Structure 1
Amino acid sequence: MMLHLLKRLGLPGLVGLLVLAGAGWGQAVWLPRQQAEAEAQASRARQLRHELLAADATGAKRAAERVLTPDAAWQSLWSQLPDSSQRTALQSQVLSSARDQGLSLSAVQFKGGPEGPPGLWRQRLTMPVEGRYADVRAWLALLLSEPALSLDAVDLQRTDVMGDAVKARISVSLWWRNGGGAR
């Protein structure tokens, strides 16, 4: 009987029955699994969102508690500045870090003097450097990790548009406490 039914359906009928059976299985078994998994993911996302919002609220509360007055902020900054005995080491560190990055440093212009409140010293260094663009960027990132240094100006020139070599003029300021000063 089964053979007679298969003969009567033929190949198109058999394929149709298989597709219908696959659709029935997908509707009865696969689709509910997928919906349950999607609901579980959505529930986890809602839980994470709730946790993040709660953490953000407590973080904002803590940040509001940590807000410093201008005087307290200045005292904190002042205590982090190196004293004048470290000025030569700071300058040497800037120059040697350029050489360590493979940059050619032809000359350095120094200009320093008291700046702002009594006891604060600013040493400006202007340096023409040559090297690869990636090396200049890495060097600048290294310099900016130094808390007593500020980047004043960057002038980049590339002579060959297809090349990697650049000429740069970098101006930085080193800051330190000079004597007793602003406390």
Structure 2
Amino acid sequence: MAAAAATALWATPALDARTETAAAEALQLRRQALARQQPQATPAAVQAGAALAFREAFAPPASRAARVAALLALAEGHGLTLRRAEFRHQAEPALGLARYRITLPAEGGYAALRDFIAASLAADPALALDALRLARAEGGGLRAELRFTLWTRLDTLAVPAAPAAVAATAGARP
């Protein structure tokens, strides 16, 4: 009887190990079967989804006039003098985006210009400063030409010219 008890004690750990192995294999087979049942995303579908999410992160084109008006008001709020502003719309169909180029000739102090640039870029994440040209003005100030790009989602409809209210805000004539 002692021999039977010793055999039972020795066989139990081996039996437990085989049971655990079989359970792990069964779990792995169930996971593989579930994975085959669920549709797999193709790399093209993943890329298309990422492109759509990227495009949707940009504001709609209808917000452009208000965003430009806010930019011009921000410049004036920082004490910069804007004589005119130039606007140019350019569609980027491959990206599903539109770029709105804004050229602002401005005059003012260096600190005001620096603060305006920092505030404008912080206020609108879809605004990029493309170029900055500086020249000394009479009286110790600066003359600057700032070229910004404002990105929006591409509107499939015709794009109107810059609204008169935006040009009037800057005291500029388009």
TM-score normalised by L of structure 2: 0.57
**What's the CA shift string for 1:39-81, capped at 9, x where partnerless?**
xxxxxxxxxxxxxxxxxxxxxxxxxxxxxx8766644432220
Aligned residue type for 1:158: R
**What's the CA shift string for 1:136-175, capped at 9, x where partnerless?**
0000001211111111100011246x93x11100000111
Q: Structure 2: give runs of 5+ residues left out of the alignment.
A: 1-45, 157-174
Matched, 1:125 2:90: no
Structure 1 residues 76 and 119: alpha-carbon distance in aligned structure 2, compared to 1, 3 A threshold: closer
Q: Which has the larger radius of gyration?
A: 1
Shift of 1:119: 3.3
Q: Structure 2 CA distance, aligned partners of 1:95 and 1:75?
A: 30
Structure number with the bigger relative contact order (C-alpha 8 A, sep ≥ 6) is: 2
TM-score normalised by L of structure 1: 0.54
Structure 1 residues 106 and 78: alpha-carbon distance in aligned structure 2, compared to 1, 3 A threshold: same
Q: Tell me how many residue pairs correspond in the alignment.
A: 111
Matches for 1:34-183 after TM superposition, within 5 Å: 74-117=51-94, 119-145=96-122, 146-159=124-137, 163=140, 165-179=141-155
Residue 159 (structure 2) aligns with: none
Structure 1 residues 109 and 140: alpha-carbon distance in aligned structure 2, compared to 1, 3 A threshold: same
Q: CA RMSD in A?
A: 2.5
Aligned residue type for 2:121: L
Q: Structure 2 CA distance, aligned partners of 1:142 and 1:73?
A: 30
Structure 1 residues 71 and 132: alpha-carbon distance in aligned structure 2, compared to 1, 3 A threshold: farther
- Percent of pairs identical after alignment? 33
Q: Structure 1: give runs of 5+ residues left out of the alignment.
A: 1-68
Q: Structure 2 CA distance, aligned partners of 1:125 and 1:87?
A: 11
**What's the CA shift string for 1:106-137, capped at 9, x where partnerless?**
00011112025253111101110000100000
Residue 30 (structure 1) aligns with: none
Deviates more, 1:98-107 or 1:139-148: 139-148
Structure with more helix by fraction: 1
